[in-house]
Chain A
Amino acid sequence: MRRDPLRDPIRFVDERTGAAPFARKALRYLFPDHWSFLLGEVALYAFVVLVATGIFLTLFFEPSLAKTVYDGSYEPLRGAEMSHAYRSAVELSFDVKAGLLFRQTHHWAADVFVAAIVAHLLRIFFTGAFRKPRELTYLIGLAMLFLGLLEGYLGYSMVDDLLSGMGLAIGYGVALSLPLIGGNLALLIWGGPYPGDPAFESRMYIGHVLLFPAILAALIGLHLALVAARHHTQFRDGRGQTGRRLVGVPAFPGQAPRSLGLLCAVASVLFLLGGLVQINPIWLWGPYETALGTNGAQPDWYLGWLIGGLRLVPGFDVVIGDRTVVPNPFWGGALFPLVVLAVLVAWSWIDRRITGSHGVHNVLDRPRDAPLRTAFGLGFLTWIFLVFFAGSSDRFFVFLGISYEAQIWFWRFGVWIIPAIVAVAAFRSCRALQQFERVEATREAAEEEARALSAPPEPERAQPRG
């Protein structure tokens, strides 16, 4: 028999696995051609870069709070007492070849990962892609977003620099504030009163490098499997798309080079950022101790909304008699993100109620097609964004001299009023756009009719009415 370098290995695999029919289907899986469908892929590829760079970092990072004295090549910290965690992170940055590149790329990739998920979520939300039969895909996506936030928080918390410690103190305060179980839960997680048991560092570490990445990877697999099982949604833009007929470019050869190109482009941008743009210069913060804090401490962007929430709440604890029942951090640090998550989770059901549409939706809405959803979504997004923005009021005080307290008072009302205005404006804009399209359609129909009337009559080929 003649040898065929392509068919022989395919036959070898197929005869032993029966995979050929599956592979053929996978190669001809159709991807609708729209730029906004790449946002989820950007998140996926950022995750790939996170895993790759993260593995490198684990080979040098020592997750231990045991004391040591720094004697590496960074002069200002020499002789300082610090934990092995912080020392190894600083050494990784200065004394391991390419270590700083990988650490910074890892950090940038985390920021881009969450940003891409959020952008992807907005696309899914405002086009109604979360609707039946894709509700589970949507819920898994939300789970990944919130796991991503936790994963990022753990990642920068275990370095044990000053910024880490301040973030952990806040995390402890928020955990303590949970009604009824807060005190017990915080003691369990930290292994004792703050700063907790030395094993707390190991707990963060195993969570960050194994437990949560493994869950994320499993959820990514499930998410993609569900997307493939129901196929992609699509816009109806005159290329023959309907709710039953999917139009797209096959995975191979059309989509594959684009998608691989996107992987390389994402990795390229992340390594360029990691090499050229400094992020989280931990050596400047110094080692953490319970008694230390610094002004101008800001977390990574994706936790900014929680800082804003914590800062905006007026100063009160819910107290019964002489006992605190609900401590203040609960509102901004726990209830706020839980409400955001709950609204997003419930939205696939709420949307069904307000649109009254229970069917299968393979064709996407344009935002104007669903004015209530768009109005609510924009109002909701504005609310979260303004709380996020209010979290940077201290920077506006420092740079522009605007009174911090005046800003906070402004936002305490603004975060409710402005989203309401945005929602009403969005609703009216959607309606106006719909109206405009109806008028356009009527005008075009009238012009068509006028053309038909002015054309010479063709009595013999007249079409029957109807």
Chain B
Amino acid sequence: MRFLRRLVGLFVAARTVRELARRPDEEPRIVEPGEPDPRAEAAVIVLLLLAAAAAVLFVVAYALEWSTQVLGGALGASLALVAAALLVVGARLVVTEELAEEYPRTGTPEEQDAVARIVRESGSRFTRKRLLGAAAATAGGALGAALVTPALSLGPALDTSQLNETPWRRGLRLVDRDGRPYTAQDIEDAFYTAFPEGADPKAIGSPIVLVRLDPGELRLPRGRERWAPDGIVAYSKICTHAGCAVALYRNPKFEPAQPDRALVCPCHYSTFDVATGGTVLFGPAGRPLPQLPLMVDAGGDMRAAGGFSGPVGPSWWGVRSS
């Protein structure tokens, strides 16, 4: 009988323990309940499996070196299928109830006050606050400047005169990109790019354009009468606006032969008159293309007869304006 009572007692105890263990499930829910949706679940499973298939296709395409289109298509499709699966989950399988809550307080005045007091009271032993502040600012400023100074190693920042420099000197031969000298006969009614012999062709002061005009067409500024032997004029190829290569030659070959011949920069369409010393016809450039005086030596090779008429390339504060 005692045994039976113990058995019942044990049974009751076990049930209580089980109840206790089960209790969390019976707590009030935090997330709202909702109806199951087996069709949506099936759709999600199908979408995820299709996504897996597309991902496998990507790996296969990678291994077999299929085209970029297949690679991108497979990866994009796989991601799109996962996105679709997630959207079905969001729309049909989880609760999307709207809840409401209070916005957080905008500002906590008592805490603001405490912060201010902690800072102020911490400084109560200082008697010469202004002087200390000035000293600290001096130290901070000087130390900051010291730490920034090594940034000057980045470049020769203080010497802007080198922005002006070009390799062109009187007597330097004009060569093409492969180093072959230009002769006057090489220059026909077209557009040529030349470089100073032996210099770095990539330097901003190196490239020039050569065009041949009828000497009668030339209206060069005074003092440049002898700069264009046989009507061949040379200008810096670097636009005085923003530094692009002036790579276009407007050269109408048949009627109407207007507008007239000009060098045009493809970046912002600054347009320079080849007959008048590179003056600006249109566009944003603020000064003419620098002209290079030319001469033809006894062997017929073209040579520079001096340096450019003005600074090469885009302008900066303090550069000569022509």
User: By DSSP majority rule, is chain B's interface helix, strand, loop, or mixed?
Assistant: loop
Would you call A247 and B98 a contact (CB within 8 A)?
A: yes
A257-B89 contact, Cβ under 8 Å, with A193-B165, A264-B83, A329-B284 = yes
A-B contact count (CB 8 A): 317
Cα of A449 to Cα of B100 in the assembled complex, Å: 33
Does B286 belong to the interface (CB within 8 Å)? yes
Does B294 belong to the interface (CB within 8 Å)? no
Contacts of B217 in A (CB 8 A): none
Contacts of B313 in A (CB 8 A): 173, 194
Interface residues of B in 184-205 (CB under 8 A from A): 193, 195, 201-205
Does B316 belong to the interface (CB within 8 Å)? yes
A231-B104 contact, Cβ under 8 Å, with A179-B317, A192-B162, A317-B315 = yes
Contacts of A316 in B (CB 8 A): 286
Q: Which one, B5-13, B138-146, B147-155, B219-227, is touching chain A?
A: B147-155
Would you call B86 and A257 a contact (CB within 8 A)?
A: yes
Would you call A182 and B243 a contact (CB within 8 A)?
A: no
Q: Which one, A307-315, A413-421, A434-442, is touching chain B?
A: A307-315
The smallest C-beta distance from A104 to any residue of chain B, in angstroms, reads 8
Would you call A315 and B243 a contact (CB within 8 A)?
A: no
Name A229's contact: one of B68, B94, B104, B157 (CB within 8 Å): B104
Would you call B245 and A291 a contact (CB within 8 A)?
A: yes
A249-B98 contact, Cβ under 8 Å, with A291-B237, A324-B286, A327-B316 = yes
Cα of A346 to Cα of B60 in the assembled complex, Å: 54
Does A187 belong to the interface (CB within 8 Å)? yes
Would you call A289 and B201 a contact (CB within 8 A)?
A: yes
B305-321 toward A: CB 8 Å interface, digit per residue (1/0)? Answer: 00000000111111111
The smallest C-beta distance from B307 to any residue of chain A, in angstroms, reads 16
Would you call B155 and A187 a contact (CB within 8 A)?
A: yes
Chain A residues packing against B (C-beta within 8 Å): 2, 28, 30, 33, 97-98, 100-101, 104-105, 132-133, 166, 169-170, 172-174, 176-197, 203, 229-231, 239-240, 243-250, 253-254, 256-258, 260-265, 267-276, 289-297, 307, 310-317, 319, 322-329, 332-333, 360, 362, 394, 404-405, 408
Chain B residues packing against A (C-beta within 8 Å): 21, 31, 62, 65, 68-73, 75-80, 82-87, 89-90, 94-104, 106-107, 151-152, 154-160, 162-163, 165, 177, 193, 195, 201-207, 237-239, 241-248, 265-270, 280, 282-287, 313-322
Q: List 24 A–B pairs whose Cβ atoms lie within 8 Å, in order of A's numbering.
A: A2-B21, A30-B101, A97-B65, A101-B68, A176-B314, A183-B318, A184-B160, A193-B165, A245-B100, A249-B97, A257-B90, A257-B94, A274-B72, A275-B71, A275-B75, A290-B203, A291-B193, A293-B244, A293-B266, A310-B268, A311-B269, A317-B321, A324-B315, A332-B284
